[in-house]
A and B are shown apart, each in its own frame.
Chain A
């Protein structure tokens, strides 16, 4: 029996030889293995590090509690969940977070669906322009609306120049200036464009024949919306809900700017303050909580996609929907409604921020008060153009986001290449999963993880805290899910055949890359670089814990200005980010020859 098996089995030497040929013929193997090792370290190690620091005593606590540094302990979990302090650390922030998330999400979805319906399906004036203008809040950094809010409603509770209302003689009450109410409004205003985008796409994808079928059966517009279109939008609604809730959980800017002055904390600000005040164990536990929320959201999303398949519309001819002709009065009011949202959410904040930088005395709207002092500096105070802080922050933002974006784009396509080439193998599945993992972790949690891992020297990797490379690294990993997902879909679209045609004709790996894959993926690569760059320019929650005085970025610098009461400089900084991002969006549209819709990932 054994001889028979031995006879039919391939000799070891032959198998080794074939293994060699396989490696030589399929560069995807080597690329895939290299990527797998790198990703495992960059993605999995930080997660393990957080688990570690949540269950191990720090040096200081070890001395206090009489243990040894590194001893296993549940002390941090107890402190967060059951100690007398737990209310302050966890339960109140949790309740705040959940209520803010619920209200902001509900508002964002309502705004999103109503505006999407108006813009895609009615004849209100300026539909085309609104389609773009309503997305502007999405391009502003997350603190823009909060900063604008504080510029208007700030009262005497905090230092620095007075708010506009205060200067005009009103005194806004605390509830209007700080805390839950403004946070909910700000988050809703900054997240509704996302809902608007998804709902518009969803509505445009619905086959118009589905409606026409209802029309031929005698349904009126109202019935069509209630019985056909809205039910078909349920899956879109669910993913909008999930994504918005997930974003709210990790949001940092609005609660920091508007909540901190009155002690209104969310999980994210609680995590931030514990990390800053030297309680990494507690911070790690909070990071785990945020990550668990993230995982739960994603699991729910996956479950939904699987169970709601029946709602996926069968592809149709996709004609443009006939736009409802509103009666004159309705047309006027609904046009006004849509434009009001634009004014309040996009133009308003921009104007508020701009005017604050142009008025020497805030809130005094007289011509002799208008000056460019805050831009060029006055009385020995540096202005925007002369401030070394802003200059370095801009330089850092561009270098960090730029480097991270380029690495991310290349890495994303490499992951795509390996996944597509090795399709069906476990390596392909591993790459796909691991490169997607960071999506689960809210930015705050991930930053905490990176801080834990790279604050000290680990093996060949030196301590990275305070260096630009740490910021680049954390951005690369955080944006990797978007980059690799678009890389995979770009490579899938091209498929293996164009490359295989080159193989058969004798083109080696480099010839194929340079002459076939490269040119074919040019647009995909540019997109995969610009999108993370935009996100990187706007990024706050991810980097706020990692920046140090030498590595401030525009977003964090603007927060510092606010902390010190330089509202005007803070606003100018946000405006600079907005300008850079909008230029990038225009460039992106030029490159991809497409409309923005749906492209912006993070």
Chain B
């Protein structure tokens, strides 16, 4: 399957602001692509436009030389002719059909003979661990099983391009881990292109091979997960990706800290409007006399593997994430040092300031 290309795609709902605003992006074939952003950022609309359930106001969507939509030529390829699979956030399993009926529905629509349908169903049931569940109804299944049925229904017809809308949001925490692995395994086994939408940065980081961060109908950054994490292109990306979130400050707010940040990055403090420090880039030490920066320990939240330490610096609160036991107890002062790779500065427009390397 060739790359998916969106060119100047715009979509407006009613007279409200643009859901998707002049979007130009290429999704490479074979990747596990994540559209990441807060709710209302246009990610689901983008997915639905690729699927053909929404029609853009203008622009062009194409896959190789196959044009899905073009406002210039007036072409619009109907969803069922796009040869893609779509899984809904609610799964949209039909409650009045059995698991098997749900899964072979797409084959029914192609008038496939019964024997072939049964064969394909057996194949999919094996792939997705649904053996023996064919006669059940969706409400008799667990959340995880329901999701696998939705996957199977989508895969029955097409397995080149899969679109998943918030695939894990309806599962509980332990199932999520399992299904993340399952989806990665599927992607690997089928070699297909997957585009999935999520607002959960952890999901994006753990599953995707390429992340596209969206905000207000525009793309903020596109890149490999670790690139997005290590080199956020904008203040929005920096704040949105990472948990606990990056500590953000205005440049003038804490002169001591901003000076230290500018020095760490090797840039002039003048061009810096805001700056951020990743919690794990804050190193704590018991010795606070020789340290340049000092903070008071306010709260300690052990997570088991790590500690999230709430610090008060000046009159601001910031969080540090450390895998070592905090050196001092609540109320005491600690010295803090910054790791260069977790410190980021942004200019007036929110764009990252280039660091001098």
Chain A contact residues, CB within 8 Å of chain B: 10-11, 13-18, 21-22, 24-25, 424, 495, 497-498, 500-507, 511, 515-516, 519-520
CB atoms of B55 and A22 under 8 A apart? yes
- A308 and B282 CA atoms in complex are apart in Å by 50
B151 to chain A, nearest CB (A): 12
Contact of A497 (CB < 8 Å), options: B78, B84, B92, B157: B92
Interface residues of B in 317-350 (CB under 8 A from A): none
> Which segment, of B102-110, B114-122, B206-214, faces chain A?
B102-110
- A10 and B58 CA atoms in complex are apart in Å by 8
CB atoms of A14 and B106 under 8 A apart? no
Number of A-B contacts (CB under 8 A): 86
> Which segment, of B35-43, B68-76, B180-188, B288-296, faces chain A?
B68-76
Q: A502-B105, A505-B153, A506-B157 are in contact. List 15 more A-B contacts (CB 8 A).
A: A14-B73, A17-B74, A18-B74, A18-B76, A21-B55, A25-B52, A25-B55, A25-B78, A503-B79, A504-B79, A505-B106, A506-B106, A506-B109, A507-B80, A519-B94
- The answer to the question of B96 belonging to the interface, with a C-beta cut-off of 8 Å to chain A, is yes
B232 to chain A, nearest CB (A): 33
In the complex, what residues of B have CB within 8 A of residue A501's CB? 86, 88, 92, 94, 153
- A520 and B92 CA atoms in complex are apart in Å by 12
CB-CB under 8 A for A498 and B51, given A21-B78, A504-B79? no
B51 to chain A, nearest CB (A): 6
Contact of B80 (CB < 8 Å), options: A16, A504, A516, A520: A504
7 A-B pairs with the lowest CB-CB distances in the bound complex, closest first: A14-B74, A17-B74, A505-B106, A506-B80, A497-B92, A21-B76, A506-B109
In the complex, what residues of B have CB within 8 A of residue A520's CB? 94-96
- The answer to the question of B169 belonging to the interface, with a C-beta cut-off of 8 Å to chain A, is no
A408 to chain B, nearest CB (A): 24
Instruction: Find the residue from A16, A495, A504 having the highest chain B CB count within 10 A.
Output: A504
CB atoms of A17 and B75 under 8 A apart? yes
Contact of A516 (CB < 8 Å), options: B79, B94, B153: B94
- The answer to the question of B14 belonging to the interface, with a C-beta cut-off of 8 Å to chain A, is yes
Contact of B88 (CB < 8 Å), options: A13, A15, A500, A507: A500
In the complex, what residues of A have CB within 8 A of residue B55's CB? 18, 21-22, 25
CB-CB under 8 A for A15 and B79, given A498-B92, A500-B53? no
CB atoms of A10 and B72 under 8 A apart? yes
- A504 and B109 CA atoms in complex are apart in Å by 11
What are 7 inter-chain pairs, A to B, with CB distance below 8 A?
A10-B72, A18-B76, A21-B76, A22-B55, A25-B76, A501-B92, A520-B95
- The answer to the question of B268 belonging to the interface, with a C-beta cut-off of 8 Å to chain A, is no
- A519 and B153 CA atoms in complex are apart in Å by 19
B109 to chain A, nearest CB (A): 4
CB atoms of A504 and B51 under 8 A apart? yes
CB atoms of B92 and A503 under 8 A apart? no
In the complex, what residues of B have CB within 8 A of residue A16's CB? 74
CB-CB under 8 A for A503 and B88, given A21-B78, A520-B96? no
Which B residue's beta carbon lies closest to that of A15?
B74
Which B residue's beta carbon lies closest to that of A26?
B55
In the complex, what residues of B have CB within 8 A of residue A21's CB? 55, 76, 78
Which B residue's beta carbon lies closest to that of A18?
B74
- A11 and B73 CA atoms in complex are apart in Å by 8
In the complex, what residues of A have CB within 8 A of residue B71's CB? 10, 14-15, 18
Which B residue's beta carbon lies closest to that of A426?
B14
By secondary structure, the B interface counts as loop
Interface residues of B in 158-205 (CB under 8 A from A): none
B229 to chain A, nearest CB (A): 33
CB atoms of B72 and A498 under 8 A apart? no
Which B residue's beta carbon lies closest to that of A25?
B78
In the complex, what residues of A have CB within 8 A of residue B153's CB? 501, 505
Which B residue's beta carbon lies closest to that of A498?
B92
A29 to chain B, nearest CB (A): 12
In the complex, what residues of B have CB within 8 A of residue A502's CB? 105
B8 to chain A, nearest CB (A): 9
Instruction: Find the residue from A16, A21, A22 having the highest chain B CB count within 10 A.
Output: A21
- A22 and B57 CA atoms in complex are apart in Å by 12
CB atoms of A500 and B95 under 8 A apart? no
Which B residue's beta carbon lies closest to that of A12?
B74
- A14 and B70 CA atoms in complex are apart in Å by 9
Which A residue's beta carbon lies closest to that of B51?
A504
B9 to chain A, nearest CB (A): 13
- A93 and B72 CA atoms in complex are apart in Å by 67
- A424 and B15 CA atoms in complex are apart in Å by 10
A389 to chain B, nearest CB (A): 46
In the complex, what residues of B have CB within 8 A of residue A505's CB? 80, 105-106, 109, 153, 157
- A499 and B227 CA atoms in complex are apart in Å by 39
B27 to chain A, nearest CB (A): 18
A17 to chain B, nearest CB (A): 3
CB atoms of A507 and B105 under 8 A apart? yes
B97 to chain A, nearest CB (A): 8
Instruction: Find the residue from A14, A22, A424, A501 having the highest chain B CB count within 10 A.
Output: A501
A318 to chain B, nearest CB (A): 21
- A500 and B51 CA atoms in complex are apart in Å by 10
- A16 and B153 CA atoms in complex are apart in Å by 35
B144 to chain A, nearest CB (A): 19
- A25 and B51 CA atoms in complex are apart in Å by 13
CB-CB under 8 A for A497 and B14, given A503-B80, A505-B109, A511-B109? no
Contact of A424 (CB < 8 Å), options: B13, B53, B94: B13
- A501 and B80 CA atoms in complex are apart in Å by 10
In the complex, what residues of A have CB within 8 A of residue B94's CB? 498, 501, 516, 519-520
CB atoms of B79 and A11 under 8 A apart? no
Which B residue's beta carbon lies closest to that of A511?
B109
- The answer to the question of B85 belonging to the interface, with a C-beta cut-off of 8 Å to chain A, is yes
In the complex, what residues of B have CB within 8 A of residue A424's CB? 13-14
Which B residue's beta carbon lies closest to that of A14?
B74
- A15 and B55 CA atoms in complex are apart in Å by 12
Instruction: Find the residue from B79, B92, B95, B110 having the highest chain A CB count within 10 A.
Output: B92
Which B residue's beta carbon lies closest to that of A21?
B76
